[in-house]
Amino acid sequence: MNCMRVLSLGTMLLAVMLCTGCNEEKMAIWTGTSQETDLCARAGIVSGKGTTEVGVEVEYDRTSDVEWGPTPDRVGPYVIFWLTQDMTITDTPESSPLKDVLESLHARPYVGMNLLGGVDDGWRNIQPNFKVGTMFTSGDGDDIGVYVEYKDGDSVAPGMYVGVVGRF
């Protein structure tokens, strides 16, 4: 049965790649956590213009027991729409010790949606979830950074997620 789940997940990712085409895209890898989840991971494809990303997302619920294995608690496709604004801080007071760090950060906001369902029920109870967040990088056009995201919906615990994202 685990082999079929892994095969289904691979089929979802392959379908996402075929639907987006194969010219000038970047692969996106996300990993993060929240107060209610031990791990949230995504793998997707960013469009050539960098405004749309689609892929597969998995979540592992918070637990006190370490359970090894590839089976997540929820899995499903996601889509993220990147806004074209690149926000920076330019008016930091001169006396601030964080002036150089704050002014080097670039913030790129996004909104998105995923359709997550429980793996154990055969993905019969798929529910939409909505997300809004910002990716912070150290330079304009840099593709490795940290993200802060708020996610809410029927199949996830509403809350803030933080993590690392890389686009290659």
CB-based burial label for 24 (10 Å; 0-12, 13-18, 19+): exposed
**Can you give the residue ranges of every domain in the chain?**
2-167
Q: Using one digit for the tens of pLDDT, what is the confidence trace for 100-149?
A: 777 778 888 999 999 888 777 666 678 889 999 999 888 766 788 999 99
Which pLDDT value is given to residue 160?
92
Residues of the chain with pLDDT under 50: 1-3
Nearest to 110 by CA among 61, 167, 154: 167
pTM (2 d.p.): 0.78
Which pLDDT value is given to residue 1?
42
Please state which CATH number belongs to domain 2-167.
Answer: 2.40.160
Which pLDDT value is given to residue 131?
94
Are 102 and 85 spatial neighbours (Cβ–Cβ below 8 Å)?
A: no
